[in-house]
Amino acid sequence: MDDSLRFVSCGLLECGQVFFLCTKCDHGDRYCSKECRSTARSESLRGARRRHQHSLEGRLDHPDRQAAYRERRR
């Protein structure tokens, strides 16, 4: 039986919690908890939306999105 552990620091910058994973439980985890994973995912999605809005494609999508919004409001 292999008794090695992997030293991991939580991937969420605000957390930085240190934890260890045995080889059996190690599935490439980067976060110490579900809360940190969820927070990191939300930040990632927010950044992706921001980058899209600043791209040419994102600026061209805006009128269509606004028209759909106005249609739903009617």
The whole-number pLDDT of residue 2 equals 59
- Give yes or no for a contact between 31 and 37, defined as CB atoms under 8 angstroms apart: yes
**CA 63/CA 48 separation, integer angstroms:** 19
Q: Is the overall model pTM greater than 0.85, yes or no?
A: no
Q: What is the mean pLDDT of each run of 10 residues along the chain (74 residues)?
A: 81 92 85 94 96 94 93 95
The whole-number pLDDT of residue 61 equals 92
Distance set, CA 73 to CA 67, 68, 69 (Å): 10, 9, 6
